[in-house]
A and B are shown apart, each in its own frame.
Chain A
Amino acid sequence: MSFFAFTGAIEQGLVYGLMTLGVFITFRVLDFPDLTVDGSLPLGASVSAVCITAGMNPWLSLFPAMAAGFLAGMITGILTTRLKLLHLLASILTMTALYSINIRIMGGRPNVPLITKPTVIAPVRELVSSFGINPWLASSFLFLAMVILVVCILIWLMRTEFGQALLATGDNPKMITSLGVNTSFTIVVGVGLSNSLVSLCGALVAQNQGTAEVSMGVGMIVDGLASIVVGETLFGGRRIVSRIISVVLGSIVYRLAIALALSLKIFKATDLNLITASIVVASLCLPKVKTYFQSRSYRAKID
């Protein structure tokens, strides 16, 4: 694997780590399989791109992007809790609707170029090269800082009264209802929060690659899930702190694994989806294989 492939994978792992944290909130914390992600990632990208094109500061453009993501998540949440749709179906509907909405936001086009526009990465690039470091690494540093910030905020949040209610909503909704928490509210806010992180990720990816595209979210949910599974298998713990950190590490390892597979001559770029699926299956099987061999050696000892 080349230097560029390696650092590129780290960079991707970090920025998509934000999305993975969002997916973690729905799938793991709330036990709410949410596919809105495939739509809310390009939503964040298009909102941020349009704001920048209109002359907004690229940093400030992250806020409307996150707000849009929050709103998208809330809609999925409301469809589920108020209209009693199945969560999977509700999120697929939101995702489908977002495809049209994203094109509307981008003024009827499927993409918005940002190459010539100011982004959050450009100043960091200059700063990094003034220290004599390869400017190619600038986005990695920026995304690392963002991920650390978001991880700290999430760890703080999960320890607050509201965060604890959020955790309990996913673990035992009957119990937390009997303790006076409106689970409809925690679900709507939780799914909103999750999608605001996904949109933040989308906005940063668009600024980094220099374009916002309507199709950039396709298959994102699988990447997010794969990262969570890889992270939990390799680094997982029981406490929420270690769970949150393991998810980000999982995202990095997952992107490295894909980069490694693609660097092998036998694979083509179009084999990506096959590789993704294989990585997920492998990491899901790993714990079972481990237990099997453990119990076998245990039995052998008794005999």
Chain B
Amino acid sequence: MRNLSSIEVPQLEKPQVSMVETANTKMLTATSLVKYFYRGTVNEVLALDHVDLKVDSGQFVCIIGSNGAGKSTLMGCVSGYSPPDHGSTVLDGRDITMWPEYRRSKLIGRVFQDPLAGTCASMTIEENMALAFRRGRRRGFRSGVTKNERELFRASLAKLDLGLDSRLTDQVGLLSGGQRQSITLLMATLIKPKLLLLDEHTASLDPKTAELIMKMTKQLVEEERITTLMITHNMQQAITYGHRLIMLHHGRVILDFDQETKSKLTVTDLLQHFHEVAKNGADSISDRMVLG
């Protein structure tokens, strides 16, 4: 198996995750993912170019990269929204490459960029949470929301400290984007997922709310030690949060920093690295063609 990142980025070290005991077990293994768009036409785009990604159990990975770098395509391959043309995705020992989106959702929690996309506006807060509480379970003719669940939801909403715990029967459509995104985040982690996918989940929020959501994310992820992939455009966010930082460019992983290296970085360093690698891009492509 190729380790692209080690070829292209000499300073790379294997990520050390000291705070997580199960550091050696791989939760997510994406192997040689390839994804084309408009294949066979003049507009053909290679969105993912043999991407390998291994994520340890409990690791929180930030993914950055410019528009069109392949971040969302990578997320799509993992979430099942748009399966890869080639390669495999193994989550928690199960090969989910060909699983339909709804099936793998049983293992994956997701928060979208659009704060309105993660909840049902016409349903109440408790109904939305009850929908999430049944992720991965058969939905039959039992009650949609039970009394015990209601108390559970109230308790977890109280932890957010947004005053939502007294509004369980309010329609979600009445809430603000920030409140809805908080609920979505809570819903994604209500049943501990094997993997949490955060797709620029603070990008559409005002700076203050974005910070609040990030703090919440950190707390939830660390409390439950949830394996997490987070896409962000905010370099500072990528440096501050998580155990590992990955940069994608033209469908390839061009930078991969562990927590120690990452913590010493500044946004300026990161940009510097990016320009260096982007400049050498042509060479590494020819290397790949030879070694490929």
- Distance (Å) between the CB of B7 and the closest chain A CB? 35
Q: Which residues of B contact A160 (CB under 8 A)?
A: 140-144
Sorting the interface of chain A by its residue count into under 10, 10 to 19, 20 to 34 or 35 or more gives 20 to 34
Contact of A181 with B by CB under 8 A: yes
Please tell me if the beta carbons of A159 and B144 are within 8 angstroms of each other in the complex.
yes
In the bound complex, how far is the Cα of B100 from the Cα of A179, in angstroms? 13
Q: Which residue of B lies closest to A178 (CB)?
A: B110
Please tell me if the beta carbons of B143 and A167 are within 8 angstroms of each other in the complex.
no
Q: Which residues of B contact A182 (CB under 8 A)?
A: 100, 102-103
The answer to whether residues A168 and B123 also contact, given A160-B144, A161-B139, A176-B131 and a CB cut-off of 8 A, is yes
**Docked complex: A136-181 residues within 8 A CB-CB of B:** 157, 159-165, 167-168, 171-172, 174-181
Contact of B117 with A by CB under 8 A: yes
Contact of B105 with A by CB under 8 A: yes
- Distance (Å) between the CB of B221 and the closest chain A CB? 18
Contact of B130 with A by CB under 8 A: yes
Q: Which residues of B contact A167 (CB under 8 A)?
A: 120, 122-123, 127
Contact of A238 with B by CB under 8 A: yes
- Distance (Å) between the CB of A187 and the closest chain B CB? 12
Please pick, from A163, A175, A177, the residue contacting B119 in the complex, using a CB distance under 8 A.
A175
Q: Which residue of A lies closest to B120 (CB)?
A: A171
Please tell me if the beta carbons of A179 and B120 are within 8 angstroms of each other in the complex.
no
Please tell me if the beta carbons of B131 and A164 are within 8 angstroms of each other in the complex.
yes
Residues of A within 8 A of B (CB): 157, 159-165, 167-168, 171-172, 174-183, 238
Known interface pairs A167-B122, A178-B105; 13 further A-B residue pairs with C-beta atoms within 8 A, sorted by A's residue number: A159-B143, A161-B142, A164-B127, A164-B131, A165-B131, A172-B117, A177-B101, A178-B110, A179-B135, A180-B103, A180-B105, A180-B136, A181-B139
Q: List 28 A-B contacts (CB under 8 A).
A: A157-B141, A159-B143, A160-B140, A160-B143, A160-B144, A161-B140, A161-B144, A162-B140, A164-B130, A164-B131, A167-B120, A171-B120, A171-B121, A172-B120, A172-B121, A174-B112, A175-B118, A175-B119, A177-B102, A178-B105, A179-B131, A179-B187, A180-B105, A180-B137, A181-B139, A182-B102, A182-B103, A238-B171
